[in-house]
Amino acid sequence: MTGRFRFDAISSLAAPVRSSKPKQAVPVRSSPTASNSRQLESGLRFRIALAAIAMILASCKHADPPPPVADASPELGVELTAEGLATAQVRTQKVGPGTFTPRLRLAGSILGDPKHVAEVGARVSGRVTALGAAVGDRVKQGQELALVDTVELHQVALDYRTSVAKARAARDTLARQQQLVSERVGPIQELRRAEAAAAEAEAALGEAREHLKFLGLTDADIARMDVGTGEAKSRIMSPIDGRVAMLTLTPGQVLTGSETVAIITDLDPIWAQVRVYERDLAALRQGAAATVEVPAYPSRAFEGTIAFVSDVLDPASRSAEVRIRLANQDNALRPGMSAIALTARAASDQSTWLPAAAVQPHDGSRIVFVRTGDRRFVAHRVVVGEEQGGYLPIESGLRPDDEVVVQGAFALRGELERADLAGD
């Protein structure tokens, strides 16, 4: 259609111009000069028409070819010098499913194991007469922490001695009645009454003994009281093996019998208590490994296992409590420290994961660098998923045998952009 349009347009130009006025008869006089002019004009018009036709045919048959399509993914390479490689601190690794695993980062604090932390209280009112330990001392279960002189204990000791005497008398009466019955000279009813009295006396003696123990006396103290050499003083003792973390007693101090006077702790093992949000609960499981970091030791990681995941969520924060059991033989971890727990997150597929720092933005896409030589690295465009715990899933763009830069990718991207600017 275009060629025909051009042809018609040029033909119209080559055609003689006709006036709209009516023609008048003009006498024609033949002359050699006028005849030659008309012949030249007709030949010129014919040549113009032929040239226009030739131009149209040439434009139709020899159209310009379409511009070449640029390569959609040219190779982007970076080659470093030996010095540049050392400065960039490049580290590479062959990656695949399972090489890197996304991790959850959970905030919390260090907490003493409740089974290994004991708050010791005063059981009686009285006056402290002596101390058996100091803050920081290692103590054993049952070791004396302090002695307390109390009026209440004196009254209980008196009741105990009375019970001892009554029980002794009841046992003697029972023995006589048993002998009389065996000799057939005593009634059975008297024997039964003696047995009941003896049982009652033994029960009262047992209760008095337990009362003494509750007030802080040991079996050895009670045995000395039985022979009349014991001293009626209450002992405050450690209920567990551990270290004295707090002791608020001084000789002469008066106690009311309701205050906490000492805290004994055994910090090995210890717990890290963190919280996990509802959306991440499915990624945790009891018994999974976890790493705990604390600001006091920035270069040290404490390995542990998840011992407890709460079945109840806090309605305000929509989070659940998680406790991680940690070994703490050198007592480096202390209750109250802030902590960050890192635990592997179960991936939903077999994707290859990379640290987020290994994936760099470039020219509107994401790239990773693959080592192709000792100091040469090629950028591969990749498609990534949602970041989880500092790691990105690679959905496409890598092959299983690729040796990927996992550290130093930022420096390589800088070299790549510098080369692009130099090329422009």
Query: If pLDDT is split at 50, 70 and 90, which confidence band does 69 have?
Result: very low
Fold classification of 76-101+350-423 is 2.40.420
pLDDT: which is higher, 24 or 248: 248
For position 93, what pLDDT does the model report? 82
pLDDT value at residue 38: 59
Average pLDDT estimate for 175-194:
87
**pLDDT band of 304, cuts 50, 70, 90:** very high
Token pair of 13 as six digits:
């130009």
DSSP state of 236: E
CA distance 342 to 92: 23
- Residue 351 scores a pLDDT above 90: no
291 φ, ψ (degrees, to nearest 5): -115, 130
Three-class SS string for 336-380?
Answer: CCEEEEEEECCCCCCCEEEEHHHCEEECCEEEEEEECCCCEEEEE
DSSP structural state of residue 70: P
- Dig out the tokens for 314 from the structure: 């806090």
pLDDT of residue 16: 46
DSSP, collapsed to helix, strand or coil, labels residue 32 as helix
Query: Residue 100 pLDDT more than 80?
Result: no
Q: What angle (nearest 5°) sits at the alpha carbon of residue 119, between those of residues 118 and 125?
A: 140
Q: Residues 184, 211: contact at Cβ < 8 Å?
A: no
* More confident call, 256 vs 9: 256
Give CA–CA dist 234/128, Å, rounded. 9
Distance CA 35, CA 55 (A): 31
Three-state DSSP class for 220? Answer: helix
**Residue 1 pLDDT > 60, yes or no?**
no
**Cα dihedral 94, 287, 324, 102 sign:** positive
Mean pLDDT, rounded, of the chain: 80
- What is the Cα–Cα distance from 212 to 104, expressed in whole angstroms? 54
SS3 content of the chain, % helix, strand, coil (to 5): 35, 30, 35
40 φ/ψ angles, rounded to the nearest 5 degrees: -65, -40
Q: What pLDDT was estimated at residue 286?
A: 87
pLDDT tens digits along 14-45:
444 444 444 444 444 444 444 555 555 666 66
192-236 pLDDT, tens per residue? 998 999 999 999 989 988 888 888 777 877 887 776 666 677 888
Average pLDDT over residues 54-59: 58
User: Phi, psi (5° rounding) for residue 368?
Assistant: -130, 155
Mean per-residue pLDDT, 86-98:
82
pLDDT over threshold 50, residue 242: yes
Q: Is the pTM of this model over 0.75?
A: no
Residue 59 pLDDT: 54
Banded model confidence at residue 58, pLDDT cuts 50, 70, 90: low
Q: Which of 21-35, 173-187, 241-255, 360-374 has the lowest mean pLDDT?
A: 21-35
Q: pLDDT grade, residue 337 (50/70/90)?
A: very high
Cβ neighbors of 286 (< 8 A, separation 6 or more) are: 306, 307, 308, 309
Q: How far is CA 51 from CA 4, 6, 45, 47, 229, in A?
A: 14, 12, 10, 6, 144
Tokens of 278: 């509802």
Rg of the chain over all Cα atoms, to the nearest angstrom: 51
Show Cβ contacts of residue 385 under 8 Å, excluding neighbours closer than 6 positions: 351, 392, 393, 395
Q: Evaluate if residue 326 carries a pLDDT over 90.
A: yes
Say which CATH topology domain 103-114+266-344 has: Elongation Factor Tu (Ef-tu); domain 3 (2.40.30)
- Name the more confident of 221 and 91: 91
In the chain, % of residues over pLDDT 70: 78
Report pLDDT for 401.
78
pLDDT of 352 > 90? The answer is no
Q: What's the average model confidence in pLDDT over 313-324?
A: 91
Q: Is 362:414 a contact under the CB 8 Å cutoff? A: no
Position 11 scores a pLDDT of 46
Provide the pLDDT confidence category of residue 48 given band limits of 50, 70 and 90. low
pLDDT classification of 75: cutoffs 50, 70, 90? low
Least confident of 218-232, 255-269, 295-309, 402-416: 218-232
Give the angle subtended at the CA of 112 by the CAs of 110 and 114, to the nearest 5°: 140
The answer to whether the beta carbons of residues 106 and 275 sit under 8 Å apart is yes
pLDDT given for residue 56 in this prediction: 58
**Domain assignments of the chain as residue spans, ordered by start:** 1-15+40-64, 76-101+350-423, 103-114+266-344, 151-232
Residue of 184 and 171 predicted with greater confidence? 171
User: Is the Cα dihedral 31, 35, 36, 41 positive or negative?
Assistant: positive
Fold agreement (76-101+350-423, 103-114+266-344) = no
C-beta separation of 110 from 341 below 8 A = no
